[in-house]
Amino acid sequence: MLAVQGLTRRFGGLTAVDRIDLAVEPGTLVSVIGPNGAGKTTLFNLIAGQDRPDAGRVALDGRDATGFSPERMARLGLARTFQHGRVFANLSVIENVLVGAHTRLRPGGPLREVMGALFRGGAEAPELREQALAVLARFGDRLLPRLDQPAFSLSYANRRRVEIARALMLRPRLLLLDEPTAGMNQTETAEMLALVRDLKAAGLTILLIEHKLDMVMQLSERVVVLDDGRRIAEGAPEAVRHDPRVVEAYLGASAVGRVPA
Amino acid sequence: MTWSSAFDYAVNGLIVGNIYALLAVGLALIFGVSHLINFAHGSVYTVGAYVGWAAITYLHTPLPVTVAIVLAVCALLGMAIERIGLRPLAGSARIAPLLATIGISLVLDQLVQLLASPDPRAVPAEVPDWRLAVGGGTIGALDLLIAAIGLISAAVLFGFLRWSRLGWAVRATAQDRDAARQMGVDVDAVNSTVFAIASALGGLSGLLVGMYYNHIDPGMSFQATLKGVVALVIGGMGNIPGAIAGSLLLGLTESFGVAFFGSSYRNLFAFVLLLLILLLRPEGLFSRGRSTPPEPLTGTFVAPSRPVLVPAWAIPAAGALFALLPFLVTTPYVLQVLANAWLYGLLALSLTLVAGTVGLVSLGHAGLLAIGAYASALLAMDRGVPVPLAVLGAGLITAVLGTLLTAPTFRLRGHYLSIATLGLGEIVALVILNWESLTRGPLGLFGIPPLAIGDLALDGVRETYWTALALLVAAAMLQQRLLASHLGRTWRAIREDDVAARASGVALFRYKAMAFAVSGFVAGVAGAVTAHMYSYINHETFTSQISVLALTMVILGGLGNVAGAVIGSVALISIPELLRASAEYRALLYGLTLLLLIRFRPQGALGTV
């Protein structure tokens, strides 16, 4: 589904992403791990269009998508979340999720869209709202009781959930999750794990950045390890876990031989 | 052009550039440490000019004493601006300090006008009258004095930043405010110092301009701010040597531009240059390479707020009530004031859509009014189009022209967009002034046909009132519908976080263009109706003060808030009338309102929608 070849991004003298290759097969979950500053988020930005690569290619379904704008990638069925959670602060929970449906509404030309909004108003709302509620129901009663609260009033964990709900509302074919459990406690992390597992079971293709390695081990078909912008290991979770280069990157040279937590 | 006149134009350009440099260096210093474009800078410059004039006229001070007095008074004024207007705003929305400086500028300008009268004054140049003949051209003593002051100021500033402890602190703060604070730099003191230095130089610049042209007036501040900002943008924001080079370049461009095209084109060059630089090289002419793209920001543009929800029926209900008013009130004055408020309400609706709902804080919205007014008037006068069709046509023309003019600015963010739209507003007025074959130029348009539908004349007080009210209610209801739709949601999402909006598939350009088209239509209709009501308009009918007033209304009501925009316009138009305030006090009141709102209630009366 997603194929990345030789992707490179330099910031001044620093090469944040250095000739990365990556392939994600349909229906699988691939995790990208690595220490802070390894280039994981930059890689996501290059794939999803927030940033343009200096070299290399991105292909979606075998078709070139290098340097496409984020909105074009979204129309091609790619949805993503952001590392620190980006919600629309003054929009309510349900409105945030409804914005996620943007690519599925076909308003026609700009004039037609304005006229449609003037004369049909919120006519598309009922079924769209049902869909949004169904997406929100995936998070149990975390978000459903807070439908009309502005996003700025939510807890950090709930904002992350809203962001994921917004991404799901796009009905993506490929979902990029950037540290979905950051700042979550054990219970919340377990909930997130169950949610991602459900999404995967439903056939969604997922690329995941995550620091909590037990989650990565449980969910991933394959794991890609980055360090200093380079890919230092790739393979099945168990194989990667015991790779000495990975252990070294995470814990430093002296820790080689021990198993990371 | 002969050699000697070319020499004179060059000298004139460099002298004027030197004066701009004193302004621009201050703006660059302030931008460097606080990332703020100080719109009050031109007002300090005006104060400097008037303080100098007062000292020379009443105290008969010799030049060095005059300069010292101006420097001291303006330095104190700068510190006061920082202390009152900016320090309390630390941590508020990024646009807040910029708006606060606009408020301060209004207040200062009006105070100058109240204290010194609006009439122009002559400032005696306290220098000998000789001129040196140099290679066919001449250089006067005043020219040399200005050049010397420019050079000395630059040298002193360089030395201060390079070798003094406080100078180091200023540079450290400019590079990384938080880190500097961590290292024990008193950032407040740095800000205060920077404002003092910048304002002292700005005031000196005002004094020199007064001497150079032998003319000062309270209206000179706005142009000065704009020129300083243009020079700042040319040189690269916060880049001090760049600001000096940009000023000289601007001075030369203007001087030769005036030589070739005439003086009414002077400002056009400045603003076209501003737009070109903003669009083509937003980092300025003199910075190396492109800077790394900033990390996606997680902050939002507007302060979080919970809006007061006005039910959908409230607007037509209020409209119906006000429609009955002409039967109860017999004084035409009340109806005239309210009709004016309804028209401003249309403008505020138009502005709150782009500035509030989409977060594009336009400072040139009066330009759209002007386009609509001229379009409708010319359609009716030159083409014989019936007035209602002309008004409609003006709305469409403004929608198209407004969108085309602003489209290049859509990739700018925050302050840059505000400056660019400010420049655009000025450009519209200057094009109207100079395109004489179409617009009759400085004469303006006389005898614009009054409002009428067929044989039904609408130019009576009551009819005008009802027409404006009907348009306002219709526009407000339509705008409510837009906001309630997916389109409205998309606009607000762009305002809150454009990166996240794009990741959801929102094409920013398309939606910004749609917002400006809708906004342009409403503003165009408002301008058109105004033109037919006034029967006379010229290039100065729709000034940037109207843009600022409209923005104050929008903030007063709550960004993006339809009911709020109407309430804001009614309040700001009718309260000064209730107080029977004269024009100067009215502007003072507007400035104070803007300042107090930003300080104490940035979400406005009804909150951000």
Q: Which domains does chain A have, with CATH numbers?
A: 2-255 (3.40.50.300)
**Mean pLDDT, range B354-372, rounded to an integer:** 94
Indicate if the pLDDT at residue A41 is higher than 70.
yes
pLDDT interval class at B299 (50, 70, 90)? very low
Residue holding tokens 């791990």?
A33
Indicate if the pLDDT at residue B301 is higher than 80.
no
User: What pLDDT shows up at residue B69?
Assistant: 96
**Mean pLDDT, range B322-351, rounded to an integer:** 93
Indicate if the pLDDT at residue B287 is higher than 70.
no
Alpha-carbon separation of residue B268 from B253, B271, B403, B422 (angstroms): 11, 5, 20, 13
Phi, psi for A173 (deg, rounded to 5): -95, -25
Indicate if the pLDDT at residue A260 is higher than 60.
no
Alpha-carbon separation of residue B14 from B158, B246, B256, B564, B595 (angstroms): 20, 11, 11, 48, 37
Winning range, highest mean pLDDT, from A93-97, A118-122, A226-230: A93-97
What percentage of chain A reaches a pLDDT higher than 70?
94
pLDDT interval class at B289 (50, 70, 90)? very low
- Rounded Cα gap, residues A223 and B452, in angstroms: 74
Indicate if the pLDDT at residue B144 is higher than 90.
no
Specify whether the CB–CB gap between B369 and B345 falls below 8 A. Answer: no
Q: What's at B221, amino acid-wise?
A: S
Neighbours of B442 (CB within 10 A): 13
Between A93-107, B83-97, B565-579, the lowest mean confidence (pLDDT) is in B83-97
Specify whether the CB–CB gap between B291 and B281 falls below 8 A. Answer: no
Closest residue by Cα to residue B484 from A148, A117, A166, A94 = A117
Q: Which of B297, B411, B486, B511 to mutate to test the interface with A (most CBs of A within 10 A)?
A: B486
User: What pLDDT shows up at residue B298?
Assistant: 36
Query: Among B487, B501, B510, whose Cβ lies nearest the Cβ of A117?
Result: B487
Higher pLDDT, B237 or B522: B522
Partner-chain contact A11 B506, CB within 8 Å = no
Neighbours of B57 (CB within 10 A): 13
User: What pLDDT shows up at residue B1?
Assistant: 65
pLDDT interval class at B292 (50, 70, 90)? very low
Residue holding tokens 């070294």?
A248
Closest residue by Cα to residue B458 from B471, B477, B444 = B471
Interface contact A11, partner B, CB < 8 A: yes
Q: Which of A11, A78, A88 to mutate to test the interface with B (most CBs of B within 10 A)?
A: A88
User: What pLDDT shows up at residue B500?
Assistant: 94
First-last CA distance in chain A: 31
Indicate if the pLDDT at residue B508 is higher than 90.
yes
pLDDT interval class at A124 (50, 70, 90)? low
Beta strands in chain A (DSSP E): 2-11, 14-24, 29-33, 55-60, 63-64, 78-80, 174-178, 205-209, 222-227, 230-235
- For B457-494, the pLDDT digits (tens) are 888 899 999 999 999 999 999 999 999 899 999 999 99
Phi, psi for A256 (deg, rounded to 5): -55, 135
pLDDT interval class at B293 (50, 70, 90)? very low
Residue holding tokens 């923005």?
B551
Residue holding tokens 């429609």?
B323
Q: What's at A101, amino acid-wise?
A: A
User: What pLDDT shows up at residue A253?
Assistant: 54
Query: Among A80, A91, A118, whose Cβ lies nearest the Cβ of B503?
Result: A80
Partner-chain contact A102 B488, CB within 8 Å = no
What percentage of chain B reaches a pLDDT higher than 70?
97
pLDDT interval class at B11 (50, 70, 90)? confident
**Mean pLDDT, range A127-148, rounded to an integer:** 93
Query: Tokens for B601?
Result: 């209630």
Alpha-carbon separation of residue B81 from A136, A160, B199, B437, B578 (angstroms): 49, 41, 10, 45, 30
Winning range, highest mean pLDDT, from A236-250, B330-344, B511-525: B511-525
Q: How near does any CA of chain A get to the CA of B481, in Å?
A: 6
Alpha-carbon separation of residue A93 from A78, A137, A145 (angstroms): 21, 12, 10
Q: Which residues between 75 and 104 in chain A have a beta carbon less than 8 angstroms from any beta carbon of chain B?
A: 75, 79-80, 82, 84-91, 95-96, 98-103
Closest residue by Cα to residue B199 from B285, B286, B283, B105 = B105
User: What pLDDT shows up at residue B72?
Assistant: 96
Indicate if the pLDDT at residue B368 is higher than 60.
yes
- For B43-81, the pLDDT digits (tens) are 999 999 999 999 999 999 998 999 999 999 999 999 999
- Rounded Cα gap, residues B58 and B51, in angstroms: 10
Partner-chain contact A71 B499, CB within 8 Å = no
Q: What DSSP element (H or E) covers B7?
A: helix B3-34
DSSP category for residue B216: B
The per-residue pLDDT of chain B, averaged, comes to 88
Quick one: B582 exposed, middle or buried, by C-beta within 10 A (0-12, 13-18, 19+)? exposed
Residue holding tokens 């993006």?
B560
pTM for the whole structure: 0.90
- Rounded Cα gap, residues B204 and B197, in angstroms: 11
Coil, helix or strand at residue B566: helix
Closest residue by Cα to residue B33 from B218, B205, B181 = B181
**Mean pLDDT, range B138-166, rounded to an integer:** 86
Range A244-253 contact pairs with CB under 8 angstroms and sequence separation of 24 or more: A249/A34, A249/A35, A249/A38, A249/A225, A250/A35
Query: Domains along chain B?
Result: 3-280 (1.10.3470), 314-600 (1.10.3470)
Which residues from B are below 8 Å from A131, CB to CB? none
- Rounded Cα gap, residues A91 and B304, in angstroms: 10
The per-residue pLDDT of chain A, averaged, comes to 90
SS3 track for B219-257: CHHHHHHHHHHHHHHHHCCCCHHHHHHHHHHHHHHHHHH
- For A190-204, the pLDDT digits (tens) are 999 999 999 999 999
Indicate if the pLDDT at residue B327 is higher than 60.
yes
User: What pLDDT shows up at residue B127?
Assistant: 75
Q: What DSSP element (H or E) covers B394?
A: helix B387-406
Indicate if the pLDDT at residue B4 is higher than 90.
no
Non-local (6+) Cβ contacts of B181 within 8 A are B187
Q: Which residues between 468 and 507 in chain B have a beta carbon less than 8 angstroms from any beta carbon of chain A?
A: 478, 481-482, 484-490, 492-493, 495-497, 499-507
pLDDT interval class at A78 (50, 70, 90)? very high
Indicate if the pLDDT at residue B291 is higher than 50.
no
User: What pLDDT shows up at residue B290?
Assistant: 43
Closest residue by Cα to residue B234 from B279, B192, B196, B266 = B279
Indicate if the pLDDT at residue B374 is higher than 70.
yes
Closest residue by Cα to residue A172 from A141, A138, A144, A135 = A135
Indicate if the pLDDT at residue A259 is higher than 70.
no
Q: Which residues between 207 and 226 in chain A have a beta carbon less than 8 angstroms from any beta carbon of chain B?
A: none
Indicate if the pLDDT at residue B95 is higher than 80.
no
Neighbours of B50 (CB within 10 A): 26
- Rounded Cα gap, residues A231 and A219, in angstroms: 20
Non-local (6+) Cβ contacts of A234 within 8 A are A222, A223, A224, A225, A240
